[in-house]
Amino acid sequence: MSQILVNPNPNELNKFLPFKFHEASDVPLRVQVTFFECGGLALGVGLSHKLCDALSGLIFIKSWAAFARGDTNEIITPSFDLAKMFPSCDMENLNMATGITKENVVTKRFVFLKSSVESLRERFSGNKKIRATRVEALSVFIWSRFMASTNQDDKPGKIYTLIHPVNLRRQADPYIPDNMFGNIMRFSVTVPKTIINEHDEEKASLVEQMREEIRKIDAVFVKKLQEDNRGHLEFLSKQASGFVNGEIVSFSFTSLCKFPVYEADFGWGKPLWVASARMSYKNLVAFIDTKEGDGIEAWINLDQNDMSRFEADEELLRYVSSNPSVIGSAS
């Protein structure tokens, strides 16, 4: 296990999963346990996104672990009444596999220490009326470095979007309880008003714009979904079509920060390291808290040529450690 923790290779971690991401499957849950010669083990879990979102998946894993160690007080009983809250709909024409590719996607792990995160939050808080969150600051920073390093601003006619999934549980009125099992999220889409240059003021403006778009997913939005969600599905179809045709360059961010990713104790103690894997989606970033909770690991999936330019960006390298060892936090 120390070989993995000293020199973690995101593109090798998929060996601990029982499937390939680009393989379409109706299997709701797959699990692989890998035993190391040292006595440690890796648990690879894959849950179908048709079935649940990240919070539901993590609550399932945490409760599974509590059941395994006999701690029944920690088991959260799921509710499967979501279908009573949202109408069923025809998704036959919606291709959720859009963006999946088998070739040329490279995954790299970049670690932002607490000092770097706080520095970026300060830089992008603009006139100080708002303070950028950790995810907001890192989203804008990573996207701006992608734009600059890959010369995206030299490609006229493209529509650029920043996509963030939003948990609907806290947006609904009344709140949807956390134990409600399902895929209870929708996507916030931000189309930057200008191509970002090197001025922090423009990055702060994008933080505000992104926050405004996320706030549009509120109780009124959820109520409309509960009445009729066909409009949202039509929007997703148009986004997918634009992506396939090359008209839209989307950059998606998903965050597990503040989620209970390090709480799953099956009886051997809490995990030494919780990691993502190499995704089959291009232009996708996954944020995960470091085990200490004060830094953030960014798992970035890019086209191979884009990644070679992105990871050499001098401004990026001022703020990140590129794939450092995790053995220190695990010892």
Distance CA 20, CA 264 (A): 24
Q: Which residues contact 295 (CB under 8 A, 6 or more apart)?
A: 111, 112, 113, 114, 116, 117, 289
* Count of C-beta atoms within a 10 Å radius of residue 327: 17
Distance CA 246, CA 224 (A): 31
Q: Answer whether 235's CB lies under 8 Å from 186's CB.
A: no
Among 295, 285, 215, smallest CA distance to 255 is for 285
Q: Which region, left, alpha or beta, applies to residue 218 given φ > 0 means left and ψ of -120 to 50 means alpha?
A: beta
Q: Which residue numbers are catalytic?
A: 49, 265
What are residue 210's phi and psi, to 5 degrees?
-65, -40
b or e along 150-179 (b: 16 or more beta carbons within 10 Å of the residue's beta carbon)?
Answer: bebeeeeeeebbbbbbbbbbebbeeebebe
Q: Which residues contact 118 (CB under 8 A, 6 or more apart)?
A: none
Q: Roughly how many angstroms between the first and final C-alpha of the chain, as a whole number?
A: 12
Q: Which region, left, alpha or beta, applies to residue 269 given φ > 0 means left and ψ of -120 to 50 means alpha?
A: left
Distance CA 199, CA 206 (A): 11
**DSSP characters over 207-257:** HHHHHHHHHTSSHHHHHHHHH--HHHHHHHHHHHHHHHTTSEEEEEEEE-T
